[in-house]
């Protein structure tokens, strides 16, 4: 059983899969409290569902790309097993994790999107940086930035850990929606001539904030 906040189909708004249809499984519960969090409703509220019920809903929606998100999906010990089951069924499975919980136990066929929290998030000291050694070249590292100090901090993490050499264009930099302009972020990256991917939350541009993006 997993405590699920919501299951919905939408356009993937982030990562290198942006723009593709995707079914999202949002698990309830999170161990962090980022200042820019836009899914606080998932902190506590959810419904217990069996793997069979979750998979039935996924099959009903029909998308071949699946993302587990939160909240923080790795807080629930049962999460790795359903990920494996879906991979065995031939789905493309992504998991977005906040970087504070070890990812070493996860199936290697999975695409991990690890969000490294910056100082302005208020959660940077909660990161488990040892996770970087468990990530594959095909996984993705994400930074959500609130200002230029966050960008400078993230750039130092990237360069000091040789992340460009390992992940190439799979390093994502996202301006916190409504807090940092995409133009500013793009300008800094171009100034520093870094091969980083500017990531916009395109679902927020497709659907107004007061509309339901699910179908």
pLDDT tens, position by position, 72-110: 999 999 999 999 999 999 999 999 999 999 999 999 999
The pLDDT of residue 41: 92
Residue 89 CA to residue 51 CA, distance in Å, equals 13
- Provide the 8-state DSSP code for 134: T
| 89-112: b (≥16 Cβ within 10 Å) or e | eebbbbbbbbbbeebeebbeebbb
The pLDDT of residue 210: 53
Give the whole-number percent of the chain exceeding pLDDT 70. Answer: 96
Mean pLDDT of the chain: 94
Residue 58 CA to residue 47 CA, distance in Å, equals 16
Q: Whats the size of the chain, residue-wise?
A: 215
Pairing relation of β-strands 197-198 and 92-97? unpaired
Chain position carrying tokens 């097993």: 81
- Provide the 8-state DSSP code for 158: H
Residue 172 CA to residue 97 CA, distance in Å, equals 14
Peptide bond preceding 136 in cis form (omega within 30 of 0): no
Instruction: Give the global pTM.
Output: 0.93
Residue 69 CA to residue 97 CA, distance in Å, equals 7
Mean pLDDT for 184-191 is 98
Structural domains of the chain, ranges and CATH numbers in brackets: 2-206 (3.20.20.70)
pLDDT digits (tens, 9 = 90+) for 134-169: 999 999 999 999 999 999 999 999 999 999 999 999
């Amino acid at each position: 059983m997993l405590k699920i906040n919501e299951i919905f189909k939408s356009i993937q708004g982030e990562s290198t899969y942006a723009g593709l249809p995707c079914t999202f499984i949002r698990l309830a519960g999170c161990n962090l409290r980022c200042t820019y969090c836009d899914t606080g409703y998932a902190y506590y509220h959810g419904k217990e569902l069996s793997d069979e019920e979750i998979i039935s809903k996924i099959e009903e929606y029909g998308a071949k790309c699946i993302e587990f998100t939160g909240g923080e999906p790795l807080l629930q010990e049962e999460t790795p097993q359903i990920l494996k089951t879906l991979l065995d069924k031939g789905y493309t499975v992504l998991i977005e994790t906040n970087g504070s919980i070890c990812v070493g136990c996860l199936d290697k066929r999975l695409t991990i999107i690890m969000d490294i929290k910056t100082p302005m998030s208020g959660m940077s000291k909660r990161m488990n940086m040892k996770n970087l050694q468990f990530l594959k070249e095909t996984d993705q590292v994400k930074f959500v930035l609130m200002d230029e100090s966050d960008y400078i901090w993230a750039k130092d993490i990237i360069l000091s850990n040789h992340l460009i050499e390992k992940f190439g264009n799979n390093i994502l930099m996202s301006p916190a929606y409504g807090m940092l302009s995409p133009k500013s972020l793009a300008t800094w990256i171009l100034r520093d001539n870094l091969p980083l991917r500017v990531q916009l939350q395109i679902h927020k541009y497709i659907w107004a904030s007061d509309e339901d993006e699910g179908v």
